[in-house]
Amino acid sequence: MQGVEFGPGIGLAAGFDGIVHHIGPRSYASRRGAIYASENGGRTWRPLARLPLPLRQRIKSTGRLQRRLWRAVVHHVAPLSDGRLVVFAFRTIYRTDASGRCMGMAALRGSRPLCVCVERDVVYYGEYRANREGSPVHVWASRDGGAAWRPVHRFVGVRHVHGVFSDPHDEAIWITTGDNDRAAGIWRTRDRFGTVERVAGGSQQTRAVQLLFTRTHVYFGSDAPAGVNHIYRLRRADGAIERLQEVEGPVYYGCRAGAHLFFSTACEPPTLRATRDVAVWSSADGSQWRRLAVFRKDRWPARVFQHGHVLFPAGPGASDAEGVWLTPVATRGDQRSLKIGFLPSVERALYPR
């Protein structure tokens, strides 16, 4: 694939001309305003639903650069246990039944959520908007499949919510916020937003987007556009934070399945002055990290046509013994998902014991 470099022994295992959002027993992807489903982990896809978009949104989503300029894409597909979908797209929240029939839509607060959480069929998202005036921002929740939404927490003194995450190890819900030192924080609630505590914060190194969970640690990367960035882990036992790996740019997204952890870096001003690399990092043990792939930021201005970054799908099969799905954005050859694969012998070489 043009514009990407793979690590030793890493290669292309599968692909989809669009964004892969969820990998599991039933997987979901999107292309423009259409939702696709797969029952075999993404080897083959079939059309499932088409969102009822107005003409102006259909026009905005016709070309690769138009989609980037207007953020005119499907951002998240969140499946529920009964097969219904909650779809965040085109500044709107859509709902479908298990057959893909659109059942309605709801207002979305903010431009789009960066990370969406589904916990026991309750869907959570945080407001992500420019918020230059510094007004309060909220975490929103729906208990009826996306039909009705209510605020469950109000943040004061933060610019926006980066993500909401379900912790499978202690049944907590975690939240990340940004952007300045005072607003940057990693938060936790153990009583479904009855109380919310800040676990870490106060600097650009605790300005995080995605959180990944293991039994003993919470992993994150720093999202510091003007500084040096690292992958970290927070020890559950005492809250100590350990610096693991310096990386080439701010860290936005990641995923975990089985023993594998993945994070990707972004290429944005002022990082662009130092590198045009957008990298995918992986670890099998949480301690040793290796670069699996490097994409190149394309020539279009980042402030208008988005920062270079890589998306990962959600779901229990987001990565597996054979590889991981990635969707590069604002890079050469972007908006085409690919599964990069590696053989067990290559995995042993990448992650020596």
pLDDT digits (tens, 9 = 90+) for 160-200: 999 999 999 998 999 999 999 999 999 999 999 999 999 99
pLDDT at site 352: 43
pLDDT at site 2: 62
At 70, give phi and psi (nearest 5°).
Answer: -95, 0
- Cis amide linkage into residue 298, ω under 30° from 0: no
Rounding to the nearest 10 degrees, give the CA dihedral for residues 3, 224, 164, 129: -90
Please give the single-letter amino acid code of residue 335: Q
Distance of CA 87 to the CA centre of its chain: 14
The three-class DSSP label of residue 46 is: strand
Distance of CA 145 to the CA centre of its chain: 21
Distance between CA 259 and CA 316 in Å, rounded? 12
pTM for this one? 0.94
Per this entry, what is the length of the chain? 353
Contact 55, 62 (CB under 8 A): no
Pair of tokens at residue 153 = 């927490």
Distance between CA 185 and CA 171 in Å, rounded? 20
Under the banding of pLDDT at 50, 70 and 90, the label for residue 350 is very low
Under the banding of pLDDT at 50, 70 and 90, the label for residue 347 is very low
Distance between CA 161 and CA 195 in Å, rounded? 17
Mean of pLDDT over the chain: 93
Distance between CA 267 and CA 269 in Å, rounded? 7
% of the chain residues with pLDDT over 90: 86
Mean pLDDT across 326-340: 95
Mean pLDDT across 15-42: 95
pLDDT at site 1: 59
Contact 87, 51 (CB under 8 A): yes
Rg over CA atoms, the chain: 19
